[in-house]
Amino acid sequence: MRAAILSVCLTSLLMACSFPAASTTTSQSPPDQQGRNEFEVILDEFRANSRAAEQKHKGRLVTVNGVVHSAEWSDKKSKGPHAILWVGDEKTVIGTFYDRRQVDDVLALKKGQSAQVRGRILNGSYIANDRTLYVMVDGCELLSPLQAEQK
């Protein structure tokens, strides 16, 4: 069931990737009083009301710190590879999408490896009965681990 939901989310994102993201502010602010960074605060907003959070944050430039679940490029007709990251736990799933220039770096990511990514929020949804959050981030740049040309 979880794989089917993720597949539907990824398919809808791949279809939407041809639309440019709106330009808005970046999320590089210091941690809040609970020690959460701005992206973690945004994730809480998606959990509370995903429709309102999507309207508020779509196109926002964010930095995501997570653990790699998978990285692939299954459809060579798409604009580039993608990686699935977990943030905090396996119930917070972040789909990150890259252009073709980063294929080697993205496909070199290994399950369980930490990664830092910058991109723009595309959409998100919260499955309340499963308590799983899916957020899609497009136009991503892999910040760490080091990119192949810098190794």
pLDDT of residue 108: 95
Cα angle 107, 97, 59 (rounded to 5 degrees) comes to 155
What's the average model confidence in pLDDT over 59-67? Answer: 96
Q: What integer best gives the mean pLDDT of the chain?
A: 80
Mean pLDDT of 58-73: 95
Asked whether residue 103 carries a pLDDT value surpassing 60, the answer given is yes
pLDDT at position 57 over 70:
yes
Per-residue pLDDT, 105: 94
Residues 146, 60: Cα–Cα separation, whole Å: 24
| CA torsion angle 13 17 18 19 (round to 10) | 90
Please give the C-alpha separations between residue 143 and each of 7, 94, 150, in angstroms, as whole numbers: 26, 16, 11
Residue 94: name the closest of 130, 56, 120 by CA: 120
Cα 38 to Cα 57: distance, rounded to the nearest angstrom: 11
Tell how strand 114-127 and strand 132-144 pair up: antiparallel
pLDDT of residue 79: 84
* CATH among 3.40.630.10, 3.90.245.10, 3.90.1150.10, 2.40.50.140 for 2-150: 2.40.50.140
Evaluate if residue 147 carries a pLDDT over 80: no
**pLDDT of amino acid 13:** 41
Q: Which residue has the tokens 């945004």?
A: 42
Residue with tokens 């993720």: 6
C-alpha distances in Å from residue 29, one per residue of 42, 44, 137: 12, 16, 18
Helices 38-48 and 50-57 meet at what angle, rounded to 10?
Answer: 140
Domain ranges of the chain: 2-150
Kindly report, residue by residue over 23-50, the tens digit of the pLDDT: 333 444 555 556 678 999 999 999 999 9
Specify the pLDDT at position 78: 76
Residue 139: pLDDT over 50: yes
Q: Would you place residue 74 in the very low, low, confident or very high pLDDT band (cuts 50, 70, 90)?
A: confident
Q: So what's the pLDDT on residue 19?
A: 36
